Structure 1
Amino acid sequence: MNKETVVNALRQVVADSYALLGQTHLCHWNVRGPGFFALHAAFEEQYTELFAAVDELAERVRALGALAPGGLSNLARISGMEEIAEDTPADQMVAHLAKANRKVIASLGEARKAASEAGDDETEDLMIARTQIHEKTVWMLEAYLA
């Protein structure tokens, strides 16, 4: 099993997930307009779920014998995720979060592939489960925009 490849891919997923968590929290705090109540609640549900997920992902990195990435500037550097302004209109927030979730899905796919090639069924299963959650989130966000 090539743990290093799996760990590096997992560290990317941790960073991308944490960046998405921050962006989702920003949207929760600052959303306004006719869809405020629905979006405020949806964003809270999403960032709450992400907070638990980041912990689980980081603990998987630790279970593989490596250190989990941390520090806001370090996580931002690793992720490279685009950020939005605090005063972004609600519909643009939703579109941004859909795009950010797609970035996480891509990272999850890379980690899933690495885990599969390394015979790491546990990590592969975790990546599959996380992908399902993010795909559902993208669907819900895009349905709001339709």
Structure 2
Amino acid sequence: MQYGETKEVLNQLTADLSQASAAIHQIHWYLRGDDFKRYHELMDDFREDVEEQLDEVAERLIIIDGSPVSTLEEFAEKSTIDSIPGEWGKPNSEHIERLVSIFRVLVSDYSKGIEVASKEGDDVSEDIFINAKGDLELHIWMMQAELNKAPKNDA
């Protein structure tokens, strides 16, 4: 089997997960104020989750005869997650809102992956996509609740 579209999604995820990891690390560094310690440690947990997803996604791409992007330049060029400079003095709520937006990009990637992997008959990739999407939706719900917002919107 060829899995052409699935390979494309896996490579998009490789770039977006790499960029997400860097962005979460940046949030971890630039947090200040209320709940600093809790958020600081939580960012470590989120980054670890993203790194595990990244490893699984890139390895799956290799297994189905793909070649993952692997340089900082490729990640930046291919990723749909913006790279923004760190900034001191932001309220933690702004950092959490950025985190939620990053997770939403990844959920979108995984949703597309579920669709194309199903179409191409790649049950293993589809399973990876489903599980990761569910984990990220849980993170979104938790962070939206922290912001006193509903999981699926800003209200």
TM > 0.5: yes
Deviation at 1:28, TM superposition (A): 0.8
Aligned length: 146
Structure 1 gaps of 5+ residues are: none
Partner of 1:53: 53
User: Cα RMSD (Å) of the superposition?
Assistant: 1.2
2:57 partner letter? L
Structure 2 gaps of 5+ residues are: 149-155
Deviates further, 79-88 or 52-61? 79-88
Distance across 1 between alignment mates of 2:137 and 2:83: 20
2:74 partner letter? N
Distance across 1 between alignment mates of 2:49 and 2:9: 21
Extract structure 1 runs of 4+ deviating beyond 2 A.
Answer: none
Residues 11, 69 of structure 1: 8 Å contact kept = yes
Partner of 1:141: 143
Partner of 1:24: 24
Residues 3, 64 of structure 1: 8 Å contact kept = yes
Partner of 2:36: 36
Deviation at 1:2, TM superposition (A): 4.2
Distance across 1 between alignment mates of 2:40 and 2:116: 36
Partner of 1:95: 97
Q: What is the TM-score with the length of structure 1 in the denominator? A: 0.95
Distance across 2 between alignment mates of 1:80 and 1:128: 20
1:38 partner letter? R
Residues 17, 104 of structure 1: 8 Å contact kept = yes
Deviation at 1:29, TM superposition (A): 1.4
Q: What is the TM-score with the length of structure 2 in the denominator? A: 0.89
Deviation at 1:53, TM superposition (A): 1.4
2:72 partner letter? L
Deviation at 1:16, TM superposition (A): 1.1
2:120 partner letter? A
Distance across 2 between alignment mates of 1:83 and 1:98: 15
Residues 34, 92 of structure 2: 8 Å contact kept = no
Partner of 1:81: 81
Residues 98, 138 of structure 1: 8 Å contact kept = yes
1:59 partner letter? E
Residues 19, 75 of structure 1: 8 Å contact kept = yes
